[in-house]
Structure formats: C-alpha cells, structure tokens
Chain A
Amino acid sequence: NAGVTQTPKFQVLKTGQSMTLQCAQDMNHEYMSWYRQDPGMGLRLIHYSVGAGITDQGEVPNGYNVSRSTTEDFPLRLLSAAPSQTSVYFCASSYSQGAYGYTFGSGTRLTVV
C-alpha cells in the first residue's frame, strides 16, 4: 500500500544512546518532515526537506540530525538521547508545497530512560 512507513513503532533508549528513526515514502513526494507530538503541545516541526539533498531546521531541531539522500527516505537521528526526547515522532510527506496536505506515518513512540 502506498504511504509513509515508519520504523520502529516502539523504542526504549537509555540516556546517551543514539539511534535512527526510519521513514520511507513511495509516493514520489518532494516534501518530507519530522514532527514530535507531546501532550498539550500539538505537533512541533523538527526538521524538513524540500527534496533530495536539501534539509532545513524546524521549530525544535536541537538534538536531532537528518539527511535526505534519496526522494524516498528521510531518517531522523538522535545523537545522544535525553529524557526530554521522550515523545511520539511522526514522519509526513507532501506532493508539493501548500495545498495538498500531508500524508502521515503511523508514528514511533520513543521512551528515553
């Protein structure tokens, strides 16, 4: 089925560990982004990409890295996990700017202990 695939669905990390959250889409969407969702705070943009080789920071980029080597993939790397990064992470993609809206993945629930 076409869409946005995120792996893993659940992850527990120890403080200081690093990991990569995977995101892949098969819709040939130009635009991809990572959000984190925390209770009462809605969705906050971490990083986004407008095409292969182009990334930029969002609202809350600290502690996260991204790269976009292909149109399909947009991994999010946690460099040194902290308890404040406990959250649900969503990857989303869009065909083009503006009017189309996002297609979201099903999320990764990350707990940092």
Chain B
Amino acid sequence: AQSVTQPDIHITVSEGASLELRCNYSYGATPYLFWYVQSPGQGLQLLLKYFSGDTLVQGIKGFEAEFKRSQSSFNLRKPSVHWSDAAEYFCAVGGASGTYKYIFGTGTRLKVLA
C-alpha cells in the first residue's frame, strides 16, 4: 500500500539551530516527492520537489531535502532556522506511473524558540 509517514508530530528548535524533518514513504515505483509548508490560516506552499537526477534538491527559503532510495526517505533540512519558519510541514508522494494522485503525510508542526 502506498503511504507517507512523518514520525514527528511536533518539533521545537531554537532560532539559529539546524533542522531536520523526517519523511518515509512506501510506493510501488520511484515516486515524485514533495515538501510543502503551511503557515497558520494559509494554504500549502510548495517548498521543493524531487523526481529524478541529483538526490539532494534545493528549495525555497533555504530548505533542502535528500532522497535516499535505500531508506525510502526524503528528509527536509535547513542549516539555520528563522522564527518565520514556524509552520506545519507536509511531505507528499505520488504522481508517478501516470497517476495524478498524491498522498500526504500527517504533517510536522515546527515551533521556533527565540
């Protein structure tokens, strides 16, 4: 069965600290992988995506993610977190093999301490 797991419901980091948000997936083929960010009361915004090539992808707002096929993971990282990064982050997979359907994880809520 296709699924996405974000094992951390909440994460708290201090401003300036590094961040890693975990995402594991189960998918029949090599999937397209995405990270989205949702600020309070807003829709989701695409941070970055992977579908082929270099397994380390760069996104907006200084985020990056690394695709590790052997671990079925697509973890999101940022070297130095800013207070404005406080939001909820969603990992999503899908879109491969001619399907339009995407599967979203349940999200990780990030809190940033000043």
Contacts and interface: CB of A to CB of B under 8 A. Distances in A.
Interface of A: 4, 31, 33, 35, 40-43, 45, 48, 50, 58, 90, 92, 94, 97-107
A41 B49 contact: no
Contacts, number: 64
B65 to A, nearest CB: 13
Nearest to B97: A98
Q: Which of B49, B96, B98, B104 has the most CB of A within 10 A?
A: B104
Contacts of A101: 32, 34, 36, 46, 49, 92
Contact of B105 (A35, A42, A99, A102): A42
Nearest to A96: B100
B28 interface: no
Bin the interface of chain B by size. Answer: 20 to 34
Interface stretch (B14-22, B37-45, B66-74, B78-86): B37-45
B86 to A, nearest CB: 17
Interface in B89-114: 90, 92, 94-96, 98-102, 104-107
B63 interface: no
Interface of B: 9, 32, 34, 36, 41-46, 49, 51, 90, 92, 94-96, 98-102, 104-107
A97 B45 CA distance: 18
B30 to A, nearest CB: 11
Q: Which of B44, B46, B51, B104 has the most CB of A within 10 A?
A: B44
B46 A102 contact: yes
B105 to A, nearest CB: 6
Given A31-B100, A48-B100, A105-B43, A97 B105 contact: no
Given A42-B90, A99-B95, A101-B34, A107 B100 contact: no
